[in-house]
Structure formats: C-alpha cells, structure tokens
C-alpha cells in the first residue's frame, strides 16, 4: 500500500518484488512464516555462516586452518567461508527452502555472496532446488560453468 501510494504521488510505476535476505538462523527456522509475505529469499551465506558457526570470517583465518587441515582436529572438509558447510549452514538453507515453499510454492530462492561462485556450493544449491546464485563479477564464468555441470549431473542421476 505504501509503495503504491508513493508511486501514485510521484506519477511513476516501477516493477518490483518484495523479498528478504535470510542471514540469521532464526530467519531460516521461521522461513514458512516469512514466505507468506515474500516473493523471494536470498540466502546471505557469509553472514549465515558467521551466525551459525559463531565466528567472524575476519578473525577465522587465525584459527580455522587447524579445523580444516589438521587431521587430528578436522571439523570441516573445506573452509566454510569458501564452500558451504553442508552439515550446518547447508541444512539450514535446505530446511528454509522447504519451509518457504510449504507456504509459498512459487517463491524464488537463491544465495548471494562468495559462496555463489564456488562450484561445490553451486552443486549443493542445485541439489536442494534453489533457483539462482549471485556472486561477484569475476566469479560469474566459474559460476555459470559450475551451474551447467550441476544441472547435467542431476539429469544423469535421474
């Protein structure tokens, strides 16, 4: 209503969609409620990773290598800020996608941030049925190739 009022006052019309960033675990957990009002979700996986794991990507470089590379302490297969942590953040994304679509089957779902240019993350996104990835311009060629490969792999698996 407010947007339409402003458009009428200004004598203009802009096509828009109402959506939200899913950047905190609570938003993922309550995605079914949010989807009643949203036309899209964009999962901000950098912030969602920080909030889920409880550490800042700015500080993580000083200790994260011990949990990725050290076989005695290995907690992650990959740096969770480079490749999505499927067991943690990925589970939240998958759950939120299912919850969102349970109340809004037409909602568009995607991710944005550095994960959007990572081939393993793109394959994950395809597997859970996300509609798009968004990434920085220099990652677009890699992202397009990874999306095509994920799509081909999914068709072969059927």
Under 8 Å between Cβ of 116 and 93: no
For 74-125, the pLDDT digits (tens) are 778 888 889 999 999 999 999 999 999 999 999 999 999 889 999 999 999 9
Q: Place 70 in a pLDDT band, splitting at 50, 70 and 90.
A: low
User: 77 phi and psi, to 5 degrees?
Assistant: -75, -30
pLDDT value of residue 114: 86
- Provide mean pLDDT across the span 16-36: 97
As a whole number of angstroms, the distance between CA 50 and CA 7 comes to 38
Structure tokens at 151: 């799509």
As a whole number of angstroms, the distance between CA 88 and CA 98 comes to 16
Structural domains of the chain, with CATH: 12-157 (3.20.20.60)
pLDDT value of residue 71: 66
Beta strands in the chain, from DSSP E residues, in sequence order? 19-22, 40-44, 108-112, 132-134
Under 8 Å between Cβ of 6 and 56: no
pLDDT value of residue 128: 96
């Amino acid at each position: 209503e407010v947007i339409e009022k402003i458009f009428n006052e200004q004598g203009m019309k802009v096509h828009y969609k109402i959506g939200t960033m899913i950047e905190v675990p609570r938003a993922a957990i309550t995605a079914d409620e949010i989807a009643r009002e949203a036309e899209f979700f964009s999962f901000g996986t950098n912030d969602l990773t920080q909030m889920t794991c409880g550490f800042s990507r700015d500080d993580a470089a000083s200790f994260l290598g011990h949990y990725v590379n050290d076989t005695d302490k290995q907690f992650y297969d990959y740096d969770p800020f480079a490749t999505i942590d499927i067991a943690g953040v990925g589970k939240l994304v998958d759950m939120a996608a299912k919850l969102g679509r349970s109340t809004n089957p037409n909602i568009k779902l995607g991710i944005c941030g550095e994960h959007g240019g990572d081939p393993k993350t793109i394959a994950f996104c395809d597997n859970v049925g996300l509609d798009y990835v968004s990434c920085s311009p220099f990652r677009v060629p890699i992202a397009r190739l990874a999306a095509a490969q994920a799509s081909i792999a999914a068709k072969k698996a059927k």
